[in-house]
């Protein structure tokens, strides 16, 4: 599968560097770039990428606002990976609430950037880095716990197993290996989990897992 990717950053050298890194992967095609959030939103509508690499601090429209607009659009929307030099819980929390699929610091190794694009394109969330987990735990304390407990109670035992591993940051492939299931079966479980929980995506399902206490349960 060819992964159509868009790069949004106000620094020319950053966009050029990311393009070189991603273009070296035979499965990734960079379909465009943008110098600010407004250009990013327009480019998404025009190019219909699968994944957007989004800087936070940009002129005209910042990356968080652009992410909200992109993810709140009609029909299928691209996964958005927030890229920044700022290791800040506030930015992380806002990015996840805006609908981002994950958060990476710009000084991450090149191979991690490529892997992030593949992970996001597959529908997984980038939850493994400790910095992202920290903000998810913070987000889990933002609303009442009983509602999350009730929502999780609607899941089957196997769906609870899958959600617990999602909360640990495992991808569908890793979950399949851990539970000795086929990857297609895991995808079906994930789809059912999102239907049963008040969660629009994988990241939100992890927040519910923490709010309910399921994420803290032993395997």
Does residue 95 carry a pLDDT above 80?
no
Nearest partner of 83 among 7, 21, 29, 167, judged by Cα: 7
With cut-offs at 50, 70 and 90, classify the pLDDT of residue 123: confident
Question: Within a 10 A sphere around the Cβ of 23, how many other Cβ atoms?
Answer: 12
| pLDDT computed for residue 214 by the predictor | 84
| pLDDT computed for residue 131 by the predictor | 55
pLDDT digits (tens, 9 = 90+) for 133-180: 666 666 656 555 777 788 899 999 999 999 999 888 788 888 999 999
Strand order of the β-sheet with 3-8 is: 28-34, 3-8, 51-55, 79-84, 102-105
Q: What is the mean pLDDT of residues 105-124?
A: 85
Q: Which residues of 11-62 form beta strands (DSSP E)? A: 28-34, 51-55
For 141-216, give the CATH class.
Answer: alpha beta
Structure tokens, 67: 């992410």
User: CATH 3.40.50.2300: which residues of the chain?
Assistant: 3-137, 141-216
| pLDDT computed for residue 100 by the predictor | 85
| pTM for this model (two decimals) | 0.70
pLDDT digits (tens, 9 = 90+) for 148-158: 788 899 999 99
Weakest-pLDDT range from 6-10, 80-84, 95-99? 95-99
* Superfamily grouping for domain 3-137: Response regulator (3.40.50.2300)
């Amino acid at each position: 599968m060819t992964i159509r990717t868009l790069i949004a950053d106000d620094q020319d050298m950053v966009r050029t560097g990311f393009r070189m890194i991603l273009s070296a992967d035979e499965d990734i095609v960079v379909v465009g770039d943008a110098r600010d959030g407004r250009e990013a939103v327009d480019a998404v509508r025009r190019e219909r990428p699968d994944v957007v690499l989004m800087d936070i601090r940009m002129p005209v429209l910042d990356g968080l606002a652009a992410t909200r607009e992109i993810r709140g659009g009609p029909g299928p929307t691209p996964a958005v990976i927030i890229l920044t030099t700022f290791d800040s819980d506030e930015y992380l929390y806002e990015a996840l609430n805006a609908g981002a699929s994950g958060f990476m610091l710009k000084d991450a190794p090149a191979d991690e950037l490529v892997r992030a694009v593949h992970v996001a394109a597959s529908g997984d969330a980038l939850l493994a880095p400790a910095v992202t987990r920290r903000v998810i735990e913070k987000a889990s304390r933002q609303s009442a716990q009983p509602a999350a407990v009730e929502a999780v109670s609607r899941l089957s035992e196997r769906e609870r197993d899958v959600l617990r591993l999602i909360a640990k940051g495992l991808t569908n492939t890793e979950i399949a290996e851990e539970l000795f299931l086929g990857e297609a079966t895991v995808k079906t479980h994930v789809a059912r989990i999102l239907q049963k929980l008040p969660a629009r995506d994988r990241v939100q399902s992890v927040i519910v897992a923490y709010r309910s206490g399921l994420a803290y349960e032993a395997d």
